[in-house]
Chain A
Amino acid sequence: MIKVNRQGEVWVFAEQHDGKLEDISIEILGRAGELASKLGVKVAAAVLGENVAESAEKLIHFGADNIYLAEHPLLGYYQTCSYAKILCEMINKYQPQIVLYGASPVGRDLAPRVASAAKAGLTADCTDLQIGDHEDKKSGQIHKNLLLQIRPAFGGNIIATIINYDRWPQMATVREGVMPMPLPNVGRKGKIIRHPVHLTHSDLPLEILREHKREKKVNLKTSRIIVAGGAGLGSRENFRLVWDLANCLGAAPGATRAAVDLGFIDRDHQIGQTGTTVRPSLYVAVGISGAIQHQAGMNASQKIIAVNSDPTAPIFNIAHYKIVGDLNVVVPMMIKAIKERA
Chain B
Amino acid sequence: MAYNCVVLIKQVPDTKRITGEAMNADGTVNRAALPAIFNPEDLNALELAIQIKEKFGGTVTAITMGLPAAAKILRESLYRGADDAILLTDKRAAASDTLATSYILSCAIKKLKYDILLCGRQAIDGDTAQVGPQTAEKLGIPQITYVEQLIELNNQTIIVRRNTGAGWQEVKAQLPVLLTVMDDANEPRVGNAKRLMKYKDVLAPAEITPDSGIDIKELEKKGLLIKQWSLDDIGADLNWCGRDGSPTKVHRIQSVVLTAKESKTVEPNQAGITNMIHELIIDKTIS
**Chain A residues packing against B (C-beta within 8 Å):** 1, 17, 80-81, 84, 104-105, 108-109, 111-113, 115-117, 119-125, 132, 134, 146, 148-149, 152-167, 205-214, 216, 225, 249-250, 281-282, 292, 299, 302-303, 305, 314, 316-326, 329-330, 333-334, 336-338, 340-341
* Minimum Cβ distance to chain A for residue B147 (Å): 12
CA of A148 to CA of B253 in the docked complex: distance in angstroms? 12
A157-B167 contact given A112-B133, A119-B99, A321-B276, CB 8 Å threshold: no
B-chain residues with CB within 8 Å of residue A250 when the two chains form the complex: 287
- Find out whether the CB atom of B255 lies under 8 angstroms from the CB atom of A157: yes
Tell me whether B281 is interfacial, beta carbon within 8 Å. Answer: yes
- Find out whether the CB atom of B265 lies under 8 angstroms from the CB atom of A324: yes
Chosen A-B contacts, 29 in total, with CB atoms closer than 8 Å, are A109-B145, A112-B133, A116-B138, A124-B126, A125-B127, A134-B249, A153-B125, A159-B253, A159-B254, A159-B255, A161-B250, A161-B253, A162-B248, A162-B250, A163-B248, A163-B249, A205-B142, A206-B173, A210-B169, A213-B166, A305-B276, A318-B258, A318-B259, A320-B264, A322-B266, A323-B272, A323-B276, A325-B268, A333-B270
* Minimum Cβ distance to chain A for residue B257 (Å): 9
B-chain residues with CB within 8 Å of residue A116 when the two chains form the complex: 99, 102, 133-134, 137-138
Select from chain B the residue with minimum beta-carbon distance to A163. B251
* Minimum Cβ distance to chain A for residue B23 (Å): 8
- Find out whether the CB atom of B171 lies under 8 angstroms from the CB atom of A334: no
Residue B250 contacts which of A109, A160, A212, A320 (CB distance < 8 angstroms)?
A160
CA of A108 to CA of B262 in the docked complex: distance in angstroms? 37
A-chain residues with CB within 8 Å of residue B222 when the two chains form the complex: none
Select from chain A the residue with minimum beta-carbon distance to B121. A108
- Find out whether the CB atom of A212 lies under 8 angstroms from the CB atom of B167: yes
A162-B249 contact given A207-B171, A322-B266, CB 8 Å threshold: yes
- Find out whether the CB atom of A117 lies under 8 angstroms from the CB atom of B256: no
A334-B273 contact given A116-B99, A205-B173, A318-B259, CB 8 Å threshold: yes
- Find out whether the CB atom of A115 lies under 8 angstroms from the CB atom of B286: no
| Beyond A105-B145, A250-B287, A333-B270, 10 extra complex contacts between A and B, CB < 8 Å | A80-B143, A122-B98, A124-B126, A164-B248, A165-B249, A211-B168, A212-B169, A317-B258, A323-B276, A337-B277
B-chain residues with CB within 8 Å of residue A208 when the two chains form the complex: 169-171
Tell me whether B269 is interfacial, beta carbon within 8 Å. Answer: yes
- Find out whether the CB atom of B28 lies under 8 angstroms from the CB atom of A207: no
How many residues in B have their beta carbons less than 8 Å from beta carbons of A? 76
**Chain B residues packing against A (C-beta within 8 Å):** 13, 15-16, 18, 28-29, 97-99, 102, 124-134, 136-138, 142-146, 159, 163-174, 246-256, 258-266, 268-270, 272-274, 276-278, 280-281, 285-287
**Would you list the 4 A-B pairs with minimal beta carbon distance, nearest first?**
A325-B268, A155-B15, A121-B247, A105-B165
B-chain residues with CB within 8 Å of residue A337 when the two chains form the complex: 270, 273-274, 276-278
CA of A333 to CA of B133 in the docked complex: distance in angstroms? 52
Select from chain B the residue with minimum beta-carbon distance to A17. B166
- Find out whether the CB atom of B173 lies under 8 angstroms from the CB atom of A207: yes
- Find out whether the CB atom of B126 lies under 8 angstroms from the CB atom of A153: yes
- Find out whether the CB atom of A161 lies under 8 angstroms from the CB atom of B252: yes
A124-B129 contact given A113-B136, A155-B18, A341-B281, CB 8 Å threshold: yes
CA of A250 to CA of B138 in the docked complex: distance in angstroms? 51
CA of A222 to CA of B19 in the docked complex: distance in angstroms? 35
CA of A149 to CA of B253 in the docked complex: distance in angstroms? 12
- Find out whether the CB atom of A303 lies under 8 angstroms from the CB atom of B249: no
B-chain residues with CB within 8 Å of residue A322 when the two chains form the complex: 263-266
CA of A163 to CA of B253 in the docked complex: distance in angstroms? 12
- Find out whether the CB atom of B164 lies under 8 angstroms from the CB atom of A105: yes
CA of A154 to CA of B18 in the docked complex: distance in angstroms? 10
A-chain residues with CB within 8 Å of residue B144 when the two chains form the complex: 206
A-chain residues with CB within 8 Å of residue B253 when the two chains form the complex: 158-161
* Minimum Cβ distance to chain A for residue B186 (Å): 18
* Minimum Cβ distance to chain A for residue B213 (Å): 39
- Find out whether the CB atom of B276 lies under 8 angstroms from the CB atom of A104: no
In this complex, which of B102, B129, B163, B276 has the most chain A Cβ atoms within 10 angstroms of its Cβ?
A: B129
* Minimum Cβ distance to chain B for residue A84 (Å): 8
Residue A155 contacts which of B16, B134, B171, B258 (CB distance < 8 angstroms)?
B16
B-chain residues with CB within 8 Å of residue A320 when the two chains form the complex: 261-264
A-chain residues with CB within 8 Å of residue B126 when the two chains form the complex: 124, 153
Residue A329 contacts which of B131, B134, B164, B268 (CB distance < 8 angstroms)?
B268
* Minimum Cβ distance to chain A for residue B160 (Å): 10
- Find out whether the CB atom of A124 lies under 8 angstroms from the CB atom of B128: yes
- Find out whether the CB atom of A154 lies under 8 angstroms from the CB atom of B29: yes
Select from chain B the residue with minimum beta-carbon distance to A334. B273
Select from chain A the residue with minimum beta-carbon distance to B285. A282
* Minimum Cβ distance to chain B for residue A165 (Å): 7
Select from chain A the residue with minimum beta-carbon distance to B125. A154
Select from chain A the residue with minimum beta-carbon distance to B141. A205
Residue A323 contacts which of B28, B99, B273 (CB distance < 8 angstroms)?
B273
CA of A131 to CA of B113 in the docked complex: distance in angstroms? 45
A321-B285 contact given A160-B253, A338-B277, CB 8 Å threshold: no
Residue B142 contacts which of A80, A104, A105, A108 (CB distance < 8 angstroms)?
A80
